[in-house]
Amino acid sequence: MMKNIFPKSLKKGDKIAVISPAGAVDASQLEKGIEMIKSRGFEPVLGEHLYTKFSNGYNYAGTEKERIKDINWALNDNEISAIWASRGGYGCQHLVQHLKLKNFRENPKWYIGYSDNTVIQSYLLKKGFVSIHGQTIKTSSFGVTDESYDLIFEILKGKAPKYILEAHQLNKKGNCTGEVVGGNLALIYALLGTKYSFDFRDKILFIEDIGENFYALDRMIMSLELAGVFNKIKGLIVGGMTNMGDEKENKSYEESFDGFANQLISDRLSKYTFPVVFGFPNGHIKDNRPLIIGGNVKMKVENKVKVEF
């Protein structure tokens, strides 16, 4: 079996493309993130349609053709060393059939994002390339910890992350080793049955989500169940489940790991024996620490939790 390809480490002065593959953004929303790239010694290069807006039932960052043009430029321009999504939202599914990797194969680069960017990361992994499931350039309404960004830059410079977490009451103990796949549950679900879906065999699945009704969460978990996903994986990592349920008001950051959502997932998985970690710090939360999609990880779920790439 071929090992997944890690892009080369970045050095000072390297260029990082900033693109909007999905939802629209304003320049003011990216100022801090772009300045951060500069302050770390890298050169941000803005996609042609980074701030374009196209309304078609949703505010996209440009038409499909415009967004396809930007992502294929970023993937294949040999002067670019990494690609950082401005945000998620919705729209990456429009692009996935049109992605070109001619130059990318010879000069692989890190792709950084989460949420809707799960689609792009699944595509890249199908082609044998890892990516970073981490915070976008646009900070969320609940903010982003400095460490969330620090750890991304550590990965870009060649240092793999290692996490030690406190135990969660719903955790299922055990040890496993495997590649991490997954990301946003709604997009994992949306890709099921397509040629762009993750290969779940012997993998450690990561899921996170935001703003889904509890019945929708259950439907997505049931779809994975019916597709045989839970018979294939070696372990599960559950990240942020933010503002889940039929909510009248937003929850505070402290309630980001929704108790009922986690209980629902735990109940659905009660018949399986693989280890499960709840409350992992990745997702639509303030402390959004990166994972390497396609990276090999050792996971120990005991009185403490260790997740080590």
Token output for 233? 């994986």
User: Residues spanned by CATH 3.40.50.10740 within the chain?
Assistant: 15-156
- Is 253's pLDDT higher than 50? no
Q: In this structure, which topology does domain 15-156 adopt according to CATH?
A: Rossmann fold (3.40.50)
Active site residue 284: yes
pLDDT at residue 257, rounded to an integer? 56
Residue of 49, 133, 168, 284 with catalytic role: 284
- C-alpha 74/C-alpha 279 separation (Å) is 33
CATH homologous superfamily of 162-308 equals LD-carboxypeptidase A C-terminal domain-like (3.50.30.60)
- Is 189's pLDDT higher than 80? yes
pLDDT at residue 254, rounded to an integer? 45
Residue of 20, 86, 115, 131 with catalytic role: 115
Give pLDDT tens digits for 226-245: 999 999 999 999 999 998 98
Q: How do 15-19 and 43-46 pair as beta strands?
A: parallel
Mean pLDDT in residue range 185-198: 98
Residue of 148, 208, 212, 256 with catalytic role: 208
Is 283 within 8 Å of 253 (Cβ atoms)? no
pLDDT at residue 247, rounded to an integer? 52
Range scoring the smallest mean pLDDT among 25-39, 129-143, 158-172, 241-255: 241-255
pLDDT at residue 28, rounded to an integer? 95
pLDDT at residue 128, rounded to an integer? 97
pLDDT at residue 1, rounded to an integer? 61
Ordered alpha helix ranges (H), the chain: 27-39, 64-76, 92-95, 102-106, 118-126, 146-156, 185-191, 214-226, 229-232, 259-268
Active site residue 208: yes
Query: Predicted confidence band at 298 (pLDDT cuts at 50, 70, 90)?
Result: very high
Computed over every residue of the chain, the mean pLDDT equals: 95
Mean pLDDT in residue range 152-169: 97
pTM, full prediction: 0.95
Active site residue 115: yes
pLDDT at residue 258, rounded to an integer? 80
- Is 256's pLDDT higher than 60? no
Q: Cα separations (Å) of 217 from 101, 245, 269, 294?
A: 34, 9, 13, 24
- Is 140's pLDDT higher than 90? no
pLDDT at residue 259, rounded to an integer? 87
- C-alpha 129/C-alpha 121 separation (Å) is 9
User: Residues spanned by CATH 3.50.30.60 within the chain?
Assistant: 162-308
Give pLDDT tens digits for 83-123: 999 999 999 999 999 999 999 999 999 999 999 999 999 99
Range scoring the smallest mean pLDDT among 206-210, 239-243, 252-256: 252-256
CA torsion, ordered 227, 181, 289, 239, to nearest 10 deg = 20
Give pLDDT tens digits for 41-65: 999 999 999 999 999 999 999 999 9
The three-class DSSP label of residue 292 is strand
